[in-house]
Structure 1
Amino acid sequence: MTLLTEKSTTKPLSTDSIPQEAFDWYDEYAHGDIDRRTFLSRLGTLSVTGLTLSVVAGALTPNYALAEQVSFNDPDIVASYVEYDSPNGHGRARGYLVVPKNVNADNKAAAVLVAHENRGLNPYIEDVARRLAKVGFIAFAPDALFPLGGYPGNDDEGRAMQKTLDGNKIEGDFMDAASLLKNHSFSTGKVGMVGFCYGGYLTNTLAAAMPDTIHAGAPFYGTPAKSQIDKIKSPLQLHFAELDKRVNDTWPDYEKALKANNVDYTAYIYPKTNHGFHNDSTARYDEKNAELAWNRTVEFFQQTLNS
């Protein structure tokens, strides 16, 4: 069980040009602690040479045209939207299923459940699912907003929608998705899970609640499971952003609980990165650390799910 801190890397110019306060305020805004007007008002108090308020706000707000590393038309994958029964959640749910083209009932593969942030199944998360399928995993990314019509096309509305839903039912939708993957006719029965922000919390939670289903968990800047930590059987690979005070403040107690329960885990802290550094649609993105974290995640799943 180790906690590792990376050597510092150079960030893209767009990131270095924005004061840290702006990233902190965006984090508050993205997690509902302040409204958009307050966020923009605070940005207006900054003195940023050569950058206007609209430029800074635009850099922090996701531009999903940038978030496609694997095309939905990639010849090596087959992607579709799939509805499924969710008796532990909202009764009926839907997600984005991506399968490697060479995988079938006679040539099975391990599966990875992908959990989105607090705003529904956006294009960035869909691309993460495609990236996993591209390297050989069945990937499934549920949309918590399906009971309300699905991700609405913008994060502000998606965030507001997700806040109205019962968190226990959202967790149930993802638990039933994990069961779907375990029992899928193309699946080996080995299931991993990766999640970002709220999805990181879901990853920790399902590892605790479904120890016989989740065989490996990779939460990115996610808060701890609230209970049943003693039930976790699967190895965890946890990824944290050094400047993400809100989430990092929860880590010491969670680490103590993981140690106390002999959970096999490795935690990485990526220097000078902000919450959301893996998301390539905003200025929070740190390419070098995002690629390092992602390569580690893929290797972790290959080691734990393909053995």
Structure 2
Amino acid sequence: MKYLIITISLLFVSQTLFAQDFALEQLEDSPRHHEWVEVSDGDRTIHNFVVYPEVSEDAMAVIVIHENRGLTDWVRSFADQLAAEGYIAIAPDLLSDFDEEHQKTSDFESSDAARNALYELDQDQITQDLKAVQDYVTQLPAANGNVVVAGFCWGGSQTFRYATNADGLSAALVFYGSAPTDGEQISQISTPVYGFYGGNDQRINSTIPETSELMREYDKEYIYNIYEGAGHGYMRTGDAPDASQLNKTARDSSWEWIRGILSDLDE
């Protein structure tokens, strides 16, 4: 496996089609080191946004799996927020190498087009891309070898699915994503799974009882919180300056739990 690392300044031209001004402002004000990294796996090239923490020791890494609009500015800003907590964050663009005209999320003409393309992806390809990214980030000189995966919406579902395929994960953080319903898949999970859900998201929350039962049946660790009054996507919407109080409260409470989980894993 070969890696090509491209370091780009903080003033990297934004992914304009999917710009979120508050997220861009946060990225531009960040003192942390940002890189765009290409990870090659076979004949595929996966584009990744990497943020390093300002710490004096090797750090745990977190793979951040984006929502169903691809690698947006907010996902990059979340990666930066993780780095602010002391962790290496890597956010792969799973629309990488989609076709000759679309090599990354920002090549799509609209967020709807990016979303439509995302649902055409082969699930095994997604798994292989994530494994390549995990292998890359595990081997970084500044990393301590411990890796967590976290994802939102579509990325939350992919996080749960990746936990059924991956080895060596310290934890999986699933934000408002559904779980596999196949017991054989669930039986392959070897890491704790933490679920973060908004109370006003019954489309996802209606799946929690079955997920909980399956995880219990196969003796897997599954702990979740439901934040009352918060909607689907509250980690992003709660981050915005005009966030509703319920989404903001859910987002802030989730961050408290994230810090606790990662701190316990890092001891």
Normalised-by-shorter TM-score class: 0.7 to 0.9
Alignment of 1:203-214 (within 5 A): 203-210=159-166, 212-214=167-169
Equivalent residue number for residue 201 of structure 2:
244
Q: 2:214 maps to which residue?
A: 257
- Residue in structure 1 matched with residue 30 of structure 2 by the alignment: 74
Deviation at 1:216, TM superposition (A): 0.7
Work out the percentage of aligned pairs sharing the same amino acid: 26
Q: CA deviation at 1:67?
A: 2.8
Given that residues 178 and 213 in structure 1 are in contact (C-alpha distance below 8 angstroms), is that contact kept between their aligned partners in structure 2?
no
The number of residues matched between the two structures is 238
For 2:205 and 2:35, locate their aligned partners in 1 and report how far apart those are by CA, in whole Å.
36
Tell me which amino acid in the other structure corresponds to 2:188. K
Counterpart contact for 1:111–1:137, Cα < 8 Å: yes
Q: CA deviation at 1:97?
A: 0.7
State the match for 2:157 in structure 1.
201
Which SS does the other structure have where 2:121 is aligned?
coil
AA matched with 1:150: K
TM superposition shift of 1:215: 0.8
Closer/same/farther in 2, CA of residues 150 and 63 from structure 1, 3 Å limit: closer
Unaligned runs of 5+ in 2: 1-17
Report Cα offsets for 1:138-195 as digits up to 9, x if no partner: 0000001121221127422321232333232123212221222222222111001110
Conserved? CA contact 1:69–1:131, under 8 Å: no
The residue number in structure 2 matching 1:150 is 104
Task: For residue 226 of structure 1, report the CA deviation from its aligned partner.
Answer: 4.8
Residue 298 of structure 1 and its aligned partner are, at CA, apart by 2.2
Report the AA paired with residue 134 of structure 1.
A
Alignment match, 2:44 = 91
Contact 1:183–1:189, Cα closer than 8 Å, also in 2: yes
- Aligned match of 1:286: 247
Give the Cα–Cα distance (whole angstroms) in 2 for the partners of residues 137 and 131 of structure 1.
Answer: 9
Q: CA RMSD in A?
A: 2.2
Tell me by how many angstroms 1:201 deviates: 0.9
- Alignment of 1:127 onto 2:81: no
The amino acid that maps onto 2:77 is: D
Give the 3-state SS of the residue equivalent to 1:203 in structure 2.
helix
Tell whether the 8 Å contact from 1:205 to 1:226 is kept in structure 2 after alignment. Answer: no
Q: Which residue of 1 aligns with 2:135?
A: 179
Asked if the contact 1:182–1:213 (Cα under 8 Å) also holds between the matched residues in 2, the reply is no
Relative to structure 1, the CA distance from residue 72 to residue 231 in structure 2 (aligned partners, 3 Å threshold; closer, same or farther) is: farther
Q: 1:135 deviation in Å?
A: 1.0
Larger Rg: 1
Mark the CA change 1:83 to 1:182 in structure 2 (over 3 Å): closer, same or farther.
Answer: same
d(CA) in 2 for partners of 1:150 and 1:254? 33
* 1:271 maps to which of 228, 237, 251: 228
Q: Which range is displaced more, 164-173 or 270-279?
A: 164-173
Deviation at 1:240, TM superposition (A): 1.0
Q: Deviations over 1:179-224 (max 9, x none)?
A: 22222222111001110011111111122211x3211111000110
